[in-house]
Structure 1
Amino acid sequence: MKARETKWVLCLLITALILPMQGVAAGSAGDAQTVNAPPAIAPEIGDYGIEIKSGEDLYRPEPEIPDVSAYSRDAVEARLASRPDTPPNVTVERIGDVSALGDFVDEGRAREWVIRQFSHPQAILINRGKVTLDDVYRQVNDQRYMERTDDGTYIIRLPLAVRQDATLVMRDQTLRLSEERGAFIANDGWLFAIDSKIVGWREEADGPATFQEEGSFRPFYVGWGGSENFILGTTMANLGYLQSKSYGFTVAQYSEYDNAKLKRKAPHAWLIDSTFEDLYYGFYCYEAEDVAIVNNVYRDNIVYGIDPHDYSSGLIIANNEVYGTREKHGIIISREVNNSWIVGNRSYNNGLSGIVLDRQSSNNVVANNVSYDNQGDGIGLYESPDNLLWGNRVMNNLRNGIRVRNSSNVDVYHNVAVLNGTWGIYGQLKDLSATDRNFKEDFYDYEVSMRVVGGELVSNASGPLSTDNPAYIALYDVGMRFPRSEVGIHFEGVLGKYQMQIFDALRNQSRAVFIEPSAVVSGQVTQAEN
């Protein structure tokens, strides 16, 4: 049997031993010259104290998770039925003063379309009505701009914009976006893609516009502020490149300057039962709300699989399969993406980590996910306090099972970390002042603190658990079996100092351990009463 197969057999055996898991236990760019305040000096190991007492203070109920059955085919069809059935109005015009296209002709970007169209840039504008691709084709009525093949596939050779009061409906159709002619979709109104395909297309090769390099134009999709975007049972492929709002599939609020005039609400999107492949970013959003990403497949995307960003909130990322991301993370939320749920996903074989919370993303629930075979951590929290990790399984990741970096008040409840390349759980203090981070926008506290309750930390290469000098750490009912080290299960740092007391409390007494700086805990070891 090959070594990899042997490792997976061991993983399965260990997982079988510890699952089903126990129920609820009782008891970026910017001003590089702006620098953060120097980090506080972390306490020496000797400055800590330990308390051993009942675990009842660590009890918390299972988190409430939204019912994703609300995001269904029937619900999408109901939204579509609610749109007024008014006559279609489609024109081909110079891009001019069209809000949905403004970002792509400002700051020199218009040159891209002048070169590709050989003239002043034009676009297909869906101005009013509930419009199908057949309607668009009839009203454009020009093979130079839109063509239909014998099998009913459409190809467009201009940007296509859905204006604010219009609705575009695709059902059981294939739409190809010409790479050579600079086609893309910009939705400023309502768009429904149901059981369809939207594909970046390389006409010269008569094939998909597969990724070549980050700066090379590829068609893309963007839904702007106030837009409603519904993707159901649809494949989106071969889209996106490294340009603002051109990443692949994007929903984004207008800039603060533009929205002072436009006064649009946050964009919304439901992505359900669909497939996203070979996109530069499989999903990206900016200041979005009411986003549901449910039951999709994200495979072989370039930089990120799912990447909600910048001040988005109330997101549901549930029951997706995310794998094969080439460069970075399978799922990442970054820069104050708050009050959201990442639940029931499988994220594996990604270029870095499976799931990441980044840059002050707080009050999120990461629950019941499986993250394995990633080249980074299974789950990483970077500068993101006040989050809950519940019931996740992280297995065979190259680095840590769970990493908590510069993040405080993190609850790690009933998680299983098996066969990871370093620690099962790693609490890390890291000084970022030498980086190019904008610390006015991306501030952080040089602090780690967490409560680890329930679950199993099994056969991880460096050991079950390690943390740099924490503001506090609490442990209760944590299983730590099958050490891979010849020296057995061991801790380092402040945990190493109290290793025997920790093991005795957890294994022999079934009590909780609280370790804090000695200014908080009086005395080195206290056996507290019930």
Structure 2
Amino acid sequence: MELDAMYSHTRNRQRWAAGLLLAGSLAWAAVAAAGEDAAPAYQVSSIPAEPLLIEPPKLPDLSPYTAEAANARIVRKPTGSVVLKRMIGQNQLVEFTGGDERLREWVKRQGEMPQAVFIEGGYVTLTDLARSLPKKYFEETEPGIYIARLPIVVSQGATLHIGAETRDLRLSSERGAFLINDGKLFIMDTRLTAWSEKENQQDWFKKKGKFRPFLNAWGGTETYIVNSVVSSLGYTASKSYGVSISQYSPAMHPTMQRDHPSGWLIDSMFDDMWYGFYCYEAYDVVLKGNTYRNNLVYGIDPHDRSRRLIIAENTAYGTREKHGIIVSREVNDSWIFNNRSYENTLSGIVVDRSSVNNVVANNEVYRNGSDGITIYESGDNLLWGNRAFNNARHGIRVRNSANVGLYENLAVANGLLGIYGHVKDLNGTPRDLILDPFDMNLSLTVVGGRLIGNESGAISVVSPQSVKLYGVEMLMPTQPSGIGIFGALAKEQSRIIDLLVRQKRAVLVLPLDKLAQLQVSDKQ
């Protein structure tokens, strides 16, 4: 393992510094409040360690999520029907035909009043489509290889099964094909590819904003992608990002009245996608054992008000613009564990915008262009047993987030700090503060784990409301110039070392003003 070899090298390099454990690598920062000349004062004290100790998080059992279990969910009777309908006026397509510009896209690509293929009333395969439709709309060009030249809609109550007998379903970019699931969709042991008929090849990303086919599953649907390869889907338009599982828009929801969509994406490859995966108000989606390779904006991006997601055993790498894995805007009660996220342009894993009550555990994040793991404006989250190494910035970064637990994490040889906690005033930024509010409130509990050989130091915490430390092993950074103890906490260095290292006790750091408030409260 790369990490084991690097860790062994780091240990050898650090042996000479073992006697300096913690003394040179604990970097605290306390920043003055706006308009104040002096940094706030803090008090360091000992607290009982036992209340800080918790059991490892109970992670979901992944054994139910298999190809066999997905296959068992296919209902093959009755046989469905295949019909052509105009795109205009169809509820499933309003998102893609509303406004002159989007409708013009399909007029231009189809060369006639835009139509779509609708699957209705039961079970349909691609063989059924090819038998039912003119070749100018859907054609088997070689045995097991199909080209779709119109959008395909799986209607409520219908099932489309694309199985192992299909070598590739190619969605024509020139003709504006895409795939909408409004019922049940099974893509198993096959390929789904955005296809340029003009170039006779996969429609590789060339230009931002240029149409490419996509897959979107609406509210109340089930989507299963198993042991398959999905390539080159997605562009910038709404709900057209690549593979999306999305509730109907607020404008359509009163009409459609659908439950939250769900699905399993397991043991599959997603490459050259605008977003490798996106969801919106989806519940109980499982992403397990997939590879997200060289996607454009994000590898995995669950979004607004999605819940109870399982994101496990995936590999995300080579994301060209942003992060390997991100959950953002009230993505709650979810599990992100046993993933690898590396060599992404920004962070490996991000929890963002009021996403709470999530467990991020046993992930490996390395060689990312920003942080290993980033927590932004998202309190009440637990990070357990993650390994962050060789990231360009921090191993773990936490901003404006209260009650974040960092337990048994390893941060090695990151470009700045092993752990960096800070607050930031986001007023005056492009952020929509009604949609995405924030509080400049930071509190961390750091228990166990190792912070080793990070360039700027082991840990820095800026303007916290509280910090609790216990049993953290810290070794020297690689550059002595990276050693620093800042602000009001500098004078407490000796006491922190004495309590944490020599006495093996837990440490509590509180601002004096908060300590005074607690003391007044105790007296009342």
TM-score, length of structure 2 as denominator length: 0.91
- TM alignment of 1:33-52, pairs within 5 A: 45-52=39-46
For 1:158-199, what per-residue CA distance to the aligned partner results, in whole angstroms no more than 9, with x for missing partners? Answer: 000000010000111110000000000000000000101000
Q: Does 1:125 align with 2:121?
A: no
Can you list the C-alpha shifts for 1:363-412, whole angstroms capped at 9, x where unaligned? 00000000000001000001111100000000000010000011111000
Task: Tell me which residue corresponds to 1:197.
Answer: 191
SS of the residue 2:85 aligns to: strand
Gaps of at least 5 residues in structure 1 are 19-38, 524-530
**SS of structure 2 residue aligned to 1:519:** helix
C-alpha contact 2:41 2:488 (8 A) present in aligned 1: no
CA contact (8 A) 2:456 2:481 kept: no
Shift of 1:9: 5.1
> What does residue 500 of structure 2 align with?
506
| Structure 1: distance between partners of 2:447 and 2:383 | 10
The more displaced of 41-50 and 155-164 is: 41-50
Which sits farther off after the overlay, 365-374 or 100-109?
A: 100-109
Contact 1:51 1:521 in 2 (8 A): no
Q: Could you say if the C-alpha distance between residues 60 and 167 of structure 1 is closer, same or farther in structure 2, counting changes exceeding 3 Å?
A: same
Partner residue, 2:22: none
- 65, 84, 92: which one pairs with 2:59? 65
Task: Answer yes or no: is the 8 Å Cα contact 1:40–1:446 preserved in 2.
Answer: no
Q: Determine if contact 1:465/1:491 at 8 Å carries over to the other structure.
A: no
Alpha-carbon separation, structure 2, partners of 1:402 and 1:356:
10
SS at match of 1:499: helix
Report Cα offsets for 1:70-94 as digits up to 9, x if no partner: 11112102211xx251022001221
Q: Counterpart of 1:186 in 2: which secondary structure?
A: strand
Mapping of residues 165-176 of structure 1, within 5 Å: 165-172=157-164, 173=166, 174-176=168-170
Pair 1:412–1:42, CA change in 2 (3 A): farther
Match of 1:345 among 328, 339, 342: 339
* Bigger Cα displacement from structure 2, 87-96 vs 303-312: 87-96
Alignment match, 1:411: 405
Structure 1 pair 156–457 and aligned structure 2 pair: CA distance change class (3 A): same
Counterpart selection for 1:392 from 386, 389, 392:
386
> 1:463–1:491: 8 Å Cα contact kept in structure 2?
no
Provide the rounded CA distance (Å) in 2 between the counterparts of 1:423 and 1:186. Answer: 45
Paired position in structure 2 for 1:303: 297
2:26 matched residue in structure 1: none
The answer on whether the counterparts of 1:387 and 1:409 sit within 8 Å (CA) in structure 2 is yes
SS in 2 for 1:201: strand
Alignment correspondent of 1:134: 127
- Superposition pairs of residues 462-501 of structure 1, within 5 angstroms: 462-486=456-480, 490-501=484-495
SS in 2 for 1:68: coil
> Which residue of structure 2 aligns with residue 31 of structure 1?
none
CA shift at 1:469, angstroms? 1.0
Offset, 1:257: 2.0
Contact 2:169 2:193 in 1 (8 A): yes
Residue matched to 2:80: 88
Query: CA separation in 1, counterparts of 2:502 and 2:173?
Result: 66
Question: Hey, what's the Cα distance between the residues in 1 that align with 2:488 and 2:409?
Answer: 22
Task: Answer yes or no: is the 8 Å Cα contact 2:307–2:331 preserved in 1.
Answer: yes
CA shift, 1:12, in A, is: 4.7
Whole-Å Cα distance in 2 between the matches of residues 520 and 507 of structure 1? 26
Indicate yes or no: 2:234 matched with 1:240. yes
1:320 corresponds, among 314, 332, 345, to 314
Question: For 1:224 and 1:84, how far apart are their aligned partners in 2?
Answer: 21
Q: Check conservation: 1:312, 1:336, Cα contact below 8 A.
A: yes
Query: How well do the aligned residues superpose, as a CA RMSD in angstroms?
Result: 2.1
Identify unmatched segments of 5+ residues in structure 2: 15-32, 518-524
Q: 2:510 aligns with which of 513, 516, 523?
A: 516
CA deviation digits over 1:435-490, x for unaligned, max 9? 11111110011111100000001110110000111000011100001422326854
Say if 1:196 and 1:234, in contact at 8 Å, map to a contact too: yes
Tell me: CA distance 1:79–1:495, structure 2 relative to 1, closer, same or farther (3 Å).
farther
> How many angstroms apart in 2 are the aligned matches of 1:12 and 1:209?
44
- SS of aligned partner of 2:500: helix
Q: Taking every aligned residue pair, what percent have the same amino acid on both sides?
A: 48
The alpha carbon displacement at 1:522 in A equals 6.1
Residues 1:219 and 2:217 are matched in the alignment? no
TM-score (normalizing by structure 1): 0.90
What is the CA distance between 1:492 and its match in structure 2? Answer: 2.7
* 1:42-84 C-alpha deviation (Å, 9 max, x unpaired): 995452111123311211111111001111112102211xx25
> Does the aligned pair in 1 maintain the 2:457–2:476 contact within 8 Å?
no
Q: 1:43 to 1:267 in 2, by over 3 A?
A: farther
Alpha-carbon distance in structure 1 between the residues aligned to 2:161 and 2:36: 58
Residue deviations 1:229-284, cap 9 Å, x none? Answer: 00000110011000000000001000122110111011101000000000000000
Residue of structure 2 equivalent to 1:25: none
The 8 Å contact of residues 162 and 186 in structure 2, kept in 1 or not, is answered as: yes
Give the superposition deviation at 1:521.
Answer: 3.3
Deviation of 1:97 after TM superposition, in Å, equals: 2.5
- Listed as ranges, the matches of 1:370-381 within 5 Å are 370-381=364-375
- The answer to whether 1:250 aligns with 2:244 is yes
Q: What does 1:144-183 align with in structure 2 at a 5 Å threshold?
A: 144-172=136-164, 173=166, 174-183=168-177
Cα separation, 2, equivalents of 1:280 and 1:76: 26
Q: How far apart in 1 are the matches of 2:379 and 2:5? A: 36
Is the 8 Å Cα contact of residues 266 and 288 (structure 1) preserved in structure 2? yes
Aligned counterpart for 1:113 among listed residues 84, 106, 109: 106
1:143 to 135, 140, 153: 135
Aligned residues: 495
